[in-house]
């Protein structure tokens, strides 16, 4: 059986037939970021999403491998990217817990208010109610009130920026229960939860009939800008003083600084496809962008070894897989032919709809155990010399070319003229 068994359901099948679509990331208002409580994220500024870029990226996503397929091999967003771009923890306890029962009743205990029935659907509450209720901290606020505002702001940030979903205007109270002890919030692996949600959003959007995308579009776009220099904005370098002040870290912050131009090259989906089809040279795709001198000088932390772990990514009902053995060059290792990916077709059908009796920590006990054993699932390898690119006749590339239906996807007679115009 082919690894890429889901081709008949993939968006590229419809693209080959001459159809087009444009994905629109779910939006969030700046006030939600300004009032958040997740450290670095408070300092993030507004960023315009490039719908064309994100649409073209999704066309390269393969649910079977959790990777993007480019001519030069597989690549993906990893926990390393989450930690360096967003500044979130990628270690700690899995983000999971209770999702059913009368969870809204906990709002009075944790937030000091019970949401009006008009703002509640099931165990989800409207973000607009949270914003209106906790918009301004009273001058004489007690420690309890300060804690309530902090929890409300983290809750809005989780759903509006980090893990937007199909109900973009509401947030599930299950997250609030994990915020009950603010001293323990940092012990959860929020970075893994964000990446699991992004993977699941990408899995769903290979369906051509979808016209918007959830997940952390901020992470996805910055990831692409860090690696694909043919489509990234041109930035003015930060001064030494700005670097010392932390203006460029986490790395999302550097993409909201001064730009010469906001978009490079193609402005249409066919143009971006053609540019992606040419991603072979060192100056076009960077396997290890965080080792480039002008980026490395901005990084102020040591990346957790978990970034190199082949492990499940967990967020309540969502289980995805961190297949970093397929993208070893992103960690400076020579790429070998990877093992067969985990088949998660059944897990991809799992969500919280109708699961009123399911306790996810127990239901996913085997996956959580694998996550807890993450330090025994790290990838190692031989460091590559040069830029990491492989010749088409290498063992890996011969295997990859035979495998991938999308690596050469857009070199089509009707599109070849586009390459000449970029």
CB burial string 179-206: b at 16+ within 10 A, e below: beeeeebeebbbbbbbbbbbbbbbbbbb
Q: What pLDDT does 235 receive? A: 87
Q: Domain-by-domain residue ranges, the chain?
A: 7-30+48-95+215-419
Residues composing the chain: 422
Average pLDDT over residues 382-404: 85
The yes-or-no verdict on residue 199 having pLDDT over 70 is: yes
pLDDT digits (tens, 9 = 90+) for 263-282: 455 678 888 888 888 765 55
Q: What pLDDT does 267 receive? A: 79
Sheet of strand 120-121: strand arrangement: 120-121, 124-126, 170-172
Contact 317, 98 (CB under 8 A): no
Residue 393, CA distances (Å) to 220, 284, 336, 399 in order: 31, 20, 13, 9
Indicate if the alpha-carbon torsion angle 383, 385, 389, 392 is positive or negative: negative
Residue 366, CA distances (Å) to 66, 190, 370, 373 in order: 20, 20, 6, 11
SS3 percent helix, strand, coil of the chain, rounded to 5, is: 40, 10, 45
pLDDT digits (tens, 9 = 90+) for 355-389: 767 899 999 999 999 999 999 999 999 998 778 88
Average pLDDT over residues 337-356: 83
Average pLDDT along the chain: 83
Helices of type H across 170-314? 174-178, 190-204, 217-227, 240-244, 269-277, 293-296
**CA-CA distance, 149 to 134, in Å (whole number)?**
6
Q: What pLDDT does 279 receive? A: 61
> In the structure encoding, which two tokens stand for residue 172, read together?
């599930």
Q: What pLDDT does 49 receive? A: 86
- DSSP of 10-76: SHHHHHHTT-----EEPP--HHHHHT--SGGGGGPPP----HHHHHHHHHTEETTTTEEEETTEEE-
The angle formed by the CA atoms of residues 9, 353 and 134, to the nearest 5 degrees, is: 115
Q: What pLDDT does 26 receive? A: 44
361: three-class secondary structure by DSSP: helix
Q: What pLDDT does 214 receive? A: 83
Q: What pLDDT does 419 receive? A: 36
CB burial string 356-393: b at 16+ within 10 A, e below: eebebeebbeebbebbeebeebebeeeebeeebbbeee
> In the structure encoding, which two tokens stand for residue 340, read together?
């067969």
Phi, psi dihedrals of residue 98, rounded to the nearest 5°? -75, 140
The yes-or-no verdict on residue 410 having pLDDT over 50 is: no
> In the structure encoding, which two tokens stand for residue 368, read together?
């959580």
The yes-or-no verdict on residue 311 having pLDDT over 90 is: yes
**CA-CA distance, 329 to 390, in Å (whole number)?**
10
Pairing outcome for strands 318-322 and 311-315? antiparallel
**CA-CA distance, 233 to 39, in Å (whole number)?**
26
Q: What pLDDT does 30 receive? A: 32
The yes-or-no verdict on residue 45 having pLDDT over 60 is: yes
**CA-CA distance, 69 to 73, in Å (whole number)?**
6
220: three-class secondary structure by DSSP: helix
């Amino acid at each position: 059986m082919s690894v890429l068994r889901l081709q008949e359901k993939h968006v590229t099948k419809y693209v080959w037939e001459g159809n087009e679509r444009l994905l629109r990331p779910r939006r969030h208002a700046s006030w939600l970021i300004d009032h958040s409580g997740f450290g670095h994220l408070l300092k993030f500024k507004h960023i315009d999403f490039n719908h064309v870029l994100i649409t073209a990226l999704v066309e390269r996503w393969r649910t079977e491998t959790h990777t993007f397929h480019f001519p030069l091999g597989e690549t993906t967003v990893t926990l390393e990217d989450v930690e360096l771009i967003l500044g979130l923890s990628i270690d700690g306890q899995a983000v999971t817990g209770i999702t059913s029962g009368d969870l809204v009743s906990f709002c009075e205990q944790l937030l000091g208010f019970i949401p009006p029935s008009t703002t509640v659907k099931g165990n989800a509450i409207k973000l607009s109610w949270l914003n209106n209720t906790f918009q301004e901290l009273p001058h004489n606020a007690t420690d309890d009130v300060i804690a309530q505002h902090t929890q409300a702001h983290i809750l809005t940030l989780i759903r509006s920026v980090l893990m937007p979903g199909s109900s973009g205007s509401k947030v599930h109270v299950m997250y609030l229960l994990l915020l009950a002890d603010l001293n323990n919030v940092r012990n959860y692996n929020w970075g893994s939860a964000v990446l699991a949600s992004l993977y699941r959003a990408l899995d769903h959007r290979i369906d051509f009939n979808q016209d918007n995308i959830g997940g952390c579009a901020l992470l996805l776009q910055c990831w692409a800008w860090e690696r694909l220099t043919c489509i990234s904005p041109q930035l003015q370098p930060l001064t030494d003083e700005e670097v010392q002040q932390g203006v460029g870290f986490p790395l999302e912050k550097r993409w909201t600084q001064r730009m010469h131009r906001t978009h490079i090259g193609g402005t249409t989906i066919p143009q971006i496809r053609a540019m992606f089809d040419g991603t072979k040279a060192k100056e076009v795709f960077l396997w290890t962008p965080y080792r480039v001198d002008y980026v490395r000088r901005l990084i102020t932390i040591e990346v957790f070894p978990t970034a190199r772990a082949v492990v499940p990514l967990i967020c309540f009902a969502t289980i995805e897989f961190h297949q970093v053995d397929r993208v070893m060059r992103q960690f400076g290792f020579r790429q070998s032919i990877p093992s067969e990916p985990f088949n998660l077709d059944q897990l991809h059908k799992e969500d919280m709809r109708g699961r009123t009796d399911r306790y996810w920590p127990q239901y996913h006990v085997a996956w959580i155990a694998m996550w807890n054993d993450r330090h025994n699932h790290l990838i190692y390898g031989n460091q590559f010399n040069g830029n990491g690119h492989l010749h088409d006749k290498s063992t890996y590339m011969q295997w990859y070319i035979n495998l991938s239906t999308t690596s050469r996807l857009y070199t089509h007679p009707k599109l070849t003229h586009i390459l000449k115009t970029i």
